[in-house]
Chain A
């Protein structure tokens, strides 16, 4: 009898041990469904452009050089690199033990082919060519050594390499699928592309051989999940319903109101991230009256309460912005970001100083019989949440605001015709170098014609030209800090909000962590051990 008791005791212990081992084992493996707002267009790194493409490309492909969340660079497919003194030639030593998902070996040739394709771009909307301006060629020294050559110094190239557009594709797969490669991507990443049903889902499965993740990841070896299904759920209400009914355990960009309500639910985890790069801001046109006057431009900025806009329009999930770039960007200038805070009295004083007063009591200020009028071409796709609110702040300050709602092409045309006073701009990027796309005066009538502030300042142009070629980090940082100061002091940017990534996950998801641009590392995600 006593023996029996022992036996039972041992059995109980054994059962507890087995079940706890089983529970532990459960934390590896399994499959999850992620609800995305937008379907990718192409999963070819050299063809992709926007956020949905980048997110998926990161799972399937690897970079030569990887960036951790703090933007420090780590070896990935390249184990070491050297830059020549001029910053025009980058020599990479490559890993020798990596295979693509199609079984072919990763070699120097893959790097050359991938970068050559990226420099060309494989769809009209590809982002990669803009990153690889001045690219000459990639020279293959031997199977594990390449030299990438530029015609001008390229200070941001190593950081750029860690962005999805320059990730490395399998040459054999490019050859095999030709024009359809974007629908059949093959990389070396932690997940293997499995299937794509357009307007429905994309399925990725674990790469069992994966053993070359960068050192900053929380673990090494293959990914923890066996399978990931991405579902394209364009309606925010449906995304939320799919999450609440358990059909998706992670959803991206749920509607802000519901997210704010769910935040107190213990079974829901809310993750938010303010993206680096240019904030969503209104570029202020210095050529057209009345914004050709510095006082009027500064009054525009003082008249707007970004904190309240963030709360009302975005339930706080898109953080308020006070500068042309967001605080999470490298080389953010705090002083420039502190120049303006909501101050309606100051706005009124500035406008009165310039002679704008409301003499007929209609709420709109006039000068010499002309109303203080602002032309605002708006793109509801980006600005719907806040455009009316923004206009009402400006109206309170005595502006007359005319909003013209247009699509992308319409706004570009409106801006190119120089009919606007304010026009929305924004650009997610780790580096302030994106400022040159829209603040370099060469882009007013020439270049990409996107310098809608039409601001000509020799010093700013000089900075925007020299900084991307300045290899010394401290010097480059100082240059960009000065650029932010010039932009904000001249009041050519009315900041609204930083771009926030919002994800909901249920309580079963563990290991959720954002990378430096607000994408979760799916490689690190697992089910929470019981």
Chain B
């Protein structure tokens, strides 16, 4: 187990180093002068431009810039935003709780409804309700969140005036619409997966063996079929968490919520190098943590994984 954990951590570390190098290179190979990008279309003399490049360290060779950056990160200093001069870490820590709150709420909604609808769908398979549920879930997967979000706002905020469209980030009522917007697609996707996974297990011979040994249908479903269907579903949920974090970028913008996704997008638009580097690396750390965590659960649920 410890060896397994150690191996996982080493892989994670190399992934993080890879991400930081790639982000760094991508930022520096985008055409156009970063200082120009930072200033917008402002009249500025070449002397001042050169001064700023020097000041911000853009004149150093790229490997030197990268190692300076890594050395600072190792000291816990992610730098300051070029745009508003705030410490990058402070901005990230300020914005992340809102993203986490949104993502976890959406995950709970999508997991609960995804599994529930998927199970019902599997149990009633090849009947009329199966077709109806399938059509609904496929529709849910197909609606892009930016469109769904606007529909929900139009209906629940503008028409009915039940829920705020743009509540302040600390208002719990403001969490409902964004979380639903984010969760719908993932819930439907999970439902499809649960349906096929459960159907596959239901057709396996151990189910008939268990029935022949006298176990009730209910017991067979819950203890045998469900447990074996769980393995792909756990992977799916952890993937979902990552997909929800990515989706939060769009939802945060539509509902004008605080969040790290929106922070990253604005930073990229402004070519605010330290802030982009900081947010992307932070998101990468979260992804790696979730993946490692999933692998660990995997090992608990499925003893075969540990032996590999």
Contact = CB atoms under 8 A, between A and B. Distances in A.
B166 A247 contact: yes
A231 interface: yes
Contact of A125 (B34, B42, B161, B166): B42
A241 B165 contact: yes
Interface string B84-105: 1110000100110000000000
Given A35-B166, A199-B259, A231-B166, A412 B41 contact: yes
A366 B13 CA distance: 61
B158 A241 contact: yes
Interface string B239-281: 0000000000000111111110011001000010000000000
Nearest to B83: A41
The interface centre, meaning the residue of A123, A199, A244, A411 with most chain B CB atoms within 10 A of its CB, is A199
B165 A123 contact: no
A237 B56 CA distance: 37
Nearest to B265: A234
B37 interface: yes
Interface string A98-135: 00000000000000000000000001110100100000
B135 interface: no
B165 A242 contact: yes
Interface residues of A, number: 52
B297 interface: no
B96 to A, nearest CB: 12
A379 B91 CA distance: 29
A409 interface: yes
Nearest to B154: A241
A413 B31 contact: yes
Contacts of A42: 84-85
Contacts of A235: 253-254, 256
A183 interface: yes
Interface stretch (A148-156, A206-214, A446-454): A446-454
B39 interface: yes
B302 interface: no
B32 A234 contact: no
A238 B42 contact: no
A410 B43 contact: no
Contacts of B35: 124
Contacts of A201: 168
A245 B169 contact: no
A332 to B, nearest CB: 22
A427 to B, nearest CB: 8
A10 B210 CA distance: 89
B61 interface: no
A443 interface: yes
Nearest to A203: B168
A233 B257 CA distance: 9
A407 B37 contact: yes
B166 A124 contact: no
B42 A197 contact: no
Interface string A384-413: 000000000000000000000011111111
A443 B43 contact: yes
Interface in A214-229: none
Contacts of A90: none
Contact of A412 (B32, B158, B255): B32
Interface in B147-192: 150, 153-154, 157-158, 161, 164-170
A97 interface: no
A182 interface: yes
A514 interface: no
The interface centre, meaning the residue of A47, A233, A235, A443 with most chain B CB atoms within 10 A of its CB, is A235
Interface stretch (B44-52, B64-72, B196-204, B226-234): B44-52
Contact of A413 (B32, B56, B84, B154): B32
A201 B167 CA distance: 10
A199 B102 CA distance: 15
Interface of B: 31-46, 52, 56, 80, 82-86, 91, 94-95, 150, 153-154, 157-158, 161, 164-170, 252-259, 262-263, 266, 271
Given A231-B166, A245-B157, A449-B46, 13 more contacts: A124-B52, A125-B40, A127-B42, A197-B94, A198-B86, A199-B257, A199-B263, A238-B166, A408-B37, A409-B34, A410-B32, A448-B43, A448-B44
10 contacts: A42-B85, A124-B52, A182-B84, A197-B258, A199-B259, A200-B169, A201-B168, A241-B150, A241-B166, A413-B36
